[in-house]
Amino acid sequence: MHEAQSLPSRWVERVRQLAIEVDAESILDYGSGPSGGLSRYIPNVRDYDPGVKGLDSEPEQADLVTCIHTLEHVEPICLAAVVADLQILARKALFVVVSCEKSTKVLPDGTPWHTFVRDARWWRDYLVGFEEQPPMKDKPGAEYAALMVME
């Protein structure tokens, strides 16, 4: 069921539920990609992607920040800064989903599409203060999902 859907679309219902749970009036999709992510499915979602011209302007805070299948593309030296930025941007909640699998895709220069692949246990230990969420992939260990509710 989930494998046939694109990455952001299989998370749409969960993000909608989270928005209701935290009473989010604004949602920021951090790392949305060039064609947009959740904004294609949920009205009033703002796209942000630092690697995409036109979507790379410094984002404003949002009640709910999502970061779906983005952190595995971040260079290890930048990971702590990106996670800190996510936390600063999230007023009410931060929802993160990370792929734990190597990608079969490669960039034009031949480097792997997923440059920073770690297993779910690594992400669980790294994302301190987050509550693990059920993954959407049917394959165990393929991705890690976590939620941080801001105080």
In this prediction, residues 26-33 reach a mean pLDDT of 94
For 109, the domain range is 9-149
Which of residues 11 and 7 earns the better pLDDT score? 11
The verdict on residue 77 lying in a domain is: yes
Q: Which position has the token pair 């260079």?
A: 75
Within-domain flag for 22: yes
Q: Is residue 132 part of a domain?
A: yes
* 4 within a domain of the structure (yes/no): no
84 lies in some domain: yes
Residue 98 in any domain: the answer is yes
Mean pLDDT over each residue of the chain, to the nearest integer: 87
Q: Is residue 3 one of the residues assigned to a domain?
A: no
pLDDT value for 66: 97
Helix (H) or strand (E) holding 20: helix 12-21
Taking the model in full, what pTM does it have? Answer: 0.89
Top-confidence residue, 26 or 136: 26
Q: Over 49-108, what HEC string results?
A: CCCCCCCCCCCCCEEEEEEECCHHHCCHHHHHHHHHHHHHHEEEEEEEEEECCCCCCECC
2 is a domain residue: no
- Cα dihedral value 90, 91, 95, 98, nearest 10: 20
Q: Using an 8 Å Cβ cutoff, are 116 and 70 in contact?
A: no
Residue 62 predicted with pLDDT over 60 = yes
Q: What is the pLDDT of residue 135?
A: 79
7 confidence band (pLDDT: 50, 70, 90): low
- Tally of domains within the chain: 1
CATH number for 113: 3.40.50.150
